[in-house]
Amino acid sequence: MKRELIEPFFAILRAANPEPVTELEFTSVFELLAAVLLSAQATDVGVNKATRRLYPVANSPQAILDLGVEGLESYIRTIGLYRMKAKHLLQTCRILVEQHGGQVPRTREALEALPGVGRKTANVVLNVAFGEETMAVDTHIFRVSNRTGLAPGKTPYEVEMGLLRRVPKEYLAHAHHWLILHGRYVCVARTPRCWECAVFRYCDYQPKTPPPGARVRPGASA
């Protein structure tokens, strides 16, 4: 994707959804952290179903610790890899209580030091909870960035760095939400829904037959 096409690409996504939000349900920074930790290799829908049962009972680090491993597992067993996630969440809660006064830290280094919290999870918390201009590259963002030519890369980190370089600053705060939602509902993995894509004309990817009513970008192959 040529650099001059990036601004209108995001302008259209913003016009369609001016204030995008994560589809994970939470009411506090800790609830967000726990939900993102639980969401690895799971859907937001599945995580929300579990946390709707868990959070009314335990929605703080100490309350989660008080449940114990069996108690926590009973609430999240519908989520994939629930045993490992329960272990990591309990370890994280203990660190939060013992080292951070029960609060979620605001630095990348401290977040990534928590069990089960990698760069993507840290980026989500930093962006959604603390308003930092980070880019949490999940499978949807990785696919959209490569398919559209927005920020091609062989690894999530390469894509993240490319997006931070190429996305105009005015769009950085919400860019990862727009890209996730676009990848989840339009630019899907197997057969992208180009016929209903609002940014089709700016995309490097062109199906063999343009979708009905789409304008193929000048110079692009069809």
CATH number of domain containing 150? 1.10.1670.10
pTM for this model (two decimals): 0.87
Whether residue 118 sits in one domain with residue 94: yes
Query: What is residue 35's predicted lDDT score, i.e. its pLDDT?
Result: 97
CATH number of domain containing 85? 1.10.340.30
Show Cβ contacts of residue 21 under 8 Å, excluding neighbours closer than 6 positions.
Answer: 128, 177
- Assess whether 120 carries a catalytic annotation: yes
Q: Given 138, 154, 204, 208, which residue is catalytic?
A: 138
134 vs 221: CA distance, rounded Å: 33
- Assess whether 85 carries a catalytic annotation: no
Percentage of the residues of the chain whose pLDDT score is greater than 70: 93
Query: What is residue 221's predicted lDDT score, i.e. its pLDDT?
Result: 32
201 vs 163: CA distance, rounded Å: 19
Whether residue 66 sits in one domain with residue 106: yes
Q: Does some domain include residue 95? A: yes
Q: Given 49, 66, 87, 120, which residue is catalytic?
A: 120
29 vs 60: CA distance, rounded Å: 10
> Which domain range does residue 11 map to?
3-19+135-202
Alpha-carbon Rg for the chain in angstroms? 19
161 vs 19: CA distance, rounded Å: 23
72 vs 82: CA distance, rounded Å: 9
Range in 12-21, 40-49, 85-94, 201-210 with the lowest mean pLDDT: 201-210
Q: Does some domain include residue 214? A: no
Whether residue 72 sits in one domain with residue 42: yes
Write the pLDDT tens digit of every residue in 65-109. Answer: 999 999 999 999 999 999 999 999 999 999 999 999 999 999 999
Q: Does some domain include residue 35? A: yes
Q: Does some domain include residue 182? A: yes
Write the pLDDT tens digit of every residue in 173-209. Answer: 999 999 999 999 999 998 899 989 999 999 999 765 5
Among 83, 111, 129, identify where a domain stops.
129
132 vs 138: CA distance, rounded Å: 17
Domain total of the chain? 2
Among 110, 129, 148, identify where a domain stops.
129
| pLDDT band at residue 60 under the 50/70/90 scheme | very high
Among 96, 129, 162, identify where a domain stops.
129
Whether residue 58 sits in one domain with residue 143: no
**Minimal CA–CA distance to 145: which of 6, 42, 19, 7?**
6
Whether residue 105 sits in one domain with residue 43: yes
94 vs 176: CA distance, rounded Å: 30
Q: Does some domain include residue 208? A: no
Query: What is residue 213's predicted lDDT score, i.e. its pLDDT?
Result: 56
Whether residue 50 sits in one domain with residue 124: yes
What is the residue whose two structure tokens read 């860019």?
175
Q: Does some domain include residue 196? A: yes
* Phi-psi region at 116: left, alpha or beta (left = phi > 0; alpha = psi -120 to 50): left
